[in-house]
Amino acid sequence: MPPTPLAQIILSTSRAHGLVAIPHGEQHRQAARALEEAGFQRNPDGAFVAPLADGPATRQMGRALVHRAHEHGATIITSTRPCLADFGEDLAAGLPGTWSARMELHYHPAVQEDLLGPLWDNGDLLQALLHDPVPGVVFLRNSAGTELLLIERPGHSSGYLLGALAPEAYDDNWEEPHAPRSIVLPGEPDLAARLAATSFLPSYSRALHQRRLDTVLRALERIRAEYETLQAIKASGRYSDGIPLADSRMVPEMERTFADYAWLSFRDVLEHAPVLLSRCHPAATPWPQDAAALDRLRQALADSQETRNEDQELRGALFSVGGWKQARSRFGLAALPAIETWLADSAAFQRQARAAVPGGPLALSAPSPRLLTTRPASPAVPRSSGAHR
């Protein structure tokens, strides 16, 4: 991030508050003190404001601010854009559906680093938060839980950057391959809203659909590998490295261990598969025969809902490590029929979900490598992983 003055006062105008000032920099307290001594009032959102209705009083306050800023070593910067909060509210009003806009100020430059974790972007917005001072942001949120991030475009006298935050279910967003690219918006709110609605939001929806799909497929892939290993051991009476089981009574414990592992992954299916299934319409695809498989998958999710609810209730309670592991094993065993249904019908789910990408034609291209396709049967004695399983 390039060096900035240790204490800045960034001025802009607002239709609701008149003159708006943001103290910023490593010594932002000095800037805030200058504003207070010049007669500015601090708003609940942290901005300092002064009315513009009284011309003589405004000029007097302006002269006082110049003197106080000089005394406290603060640099005054006059923005060429209106207050970011105003633009955010205008943008929210022009987007489809119902959106709210919330301003957040960053007095200290380091605070903006907190946005990097939830940010889901691989474009200019990410680069701005990494390399440029961002004294203020606006969060835009709709009733469906979509959350966007708006900032002024750094290094330019006009324009804005709009990007996305990841849904709450995701916390590993750094260099995530499906992240949508942020978009540059013009300074006219109506035009900016149309551009966001017709360009960014559809790309966001497609990216989120693909991320959800890959999350479900990878979860099933992990479960499948362990499931096939367990079935091979039970059928052959041997461990993965070929050593015979010493006692068949060990099998139930192996099943409980598998159930614990499978439940951890199946929670991803329960979280993300319902919205994907809701978009699937087999009759509109080349595979209308998949309708029965999708019905089985929906029923499997419904059958697991009570178990999922119990898991969510207990997850917030204090558990010993052993007690929590036993609970997960119990959940996995209860959900085992649903898990087996999802493993059996995963191919139908994959092609239907790929065909249901929002705002696009049927996805008839080849499925992504590595993810679920029809897999060959495992050998009777699976390859050793270096330990008994």
Residue 216 counted as domain residue: yes
- Residue 88 and residue 67 share a domain: no
Instruction: Check residue 368 and give its pLDDT.
Output: 37
Q: What pLDDT sits at residue 78? A: 94
Residues 106 and 7: their CA atoms lie apart, in Å, by 13
Amino acid at 182: S
Average pLDDT over residues 19-33: 96
Question: pTM value?
Answer: 0.85
Q: CB neighbours (10 Å) of residue 71?
A: 12
pLDDT in tens, 82-113: 999 999 999 999 999 999 999 999 999 999 99
4, 109 Cβ separation under 8 angstroms: yes
3-state secondary structure of 385: coil
- Co-location of 121 and 152 in the same domain: yes
User: Does residue 256 share a domain with residue 150?
Assistant: no
Nearest to 160 by CA among 83, 240, 266: 83
Chain centroid offset of residue 360 CA? 22
Q: Confirm whether 382 is domain-assigned.
A: no
Assess whether 69 and 89 both reside in one domain. no
Helix spans in the chain (H): 28-38, 55-71, 84-94, 124-131, 189-195, 201-236, 251-278, 291-303, 305-315, 321-334, 336-344, 346-354
Q: Give φ, ψ of 25 to 5 degrees.
A: 120, 170
Q: Are residues 126 and 245 in the same domain?
A: no
Same domain, 215 and 350: yes
Q: What are phi and psi of 13, to 5 degrees?
A: -115, 150
Q: Measuring CA to CA, which residue among 115, 146, 147 is closest to residue 128? A: 115
Side-chain-facing half-sphere of 104: CA atoms under 13 Å: 15
Which has the minimum average pLDDT: 61-65, 79-83, 113-117, 247-251? Answer: 247-251
Question: What is the per-residue pLDDT for 322?
Answer: 59
Residue 148 counted as domain residue: yes
Tell me: the pLDDT tens digits for 261-311?
Answer: 999 999 999 999 999 999 999 999 999 999 999 999 999 999 999 999 999
- Enter the DSSP assignment of 304: T
Same domain for 73 and 99: no
The number of folded domains in the chain is: 3
8 Å CB contact between 354 and 367:
yes
Q: pLDDT tens-digit profile of 192-250? A: 999 999 999 999 999 999 999 999 999 999 999 999 999 988 887 777 767 777 666 77
Q: CA–CA separation, 106 vs 112, rounded Å?
A: 6
Note whether 274 and 233 are same-domain residues.
Answer: yes
Same-domain status, 70 and 106: no
Instruction: Say if residue 374's pLDDT is above 80.
Output: no
Domain that holds residue 226: 209-354
CB–CB of 30/7 below 8 Å? yes
The first and second tokens of residue 194, run together, are: 């149309």
The answer to whether residues 66 and 101 belong to one domain is no
Structural domain ending residue among the three candidates 78, 98, 131: 78
Q: Say yes or no to pLDDT of 384 above 50.
A: no
Judgement on whether residues 308 and 279 belong to the same structural domain of the protein? yes
In a domain, 372, yes or no: no
Decide: residue 80, CB within 10 A, 0-12 exposed, 13-18 middle, 19+ buried: exposed
- The band of 173, judged by pLDDT with boundaries at 50, 70 and 90, is confident
What pLDDT was estimated at residue 245? 75
pLDDT value, residue 383: 29
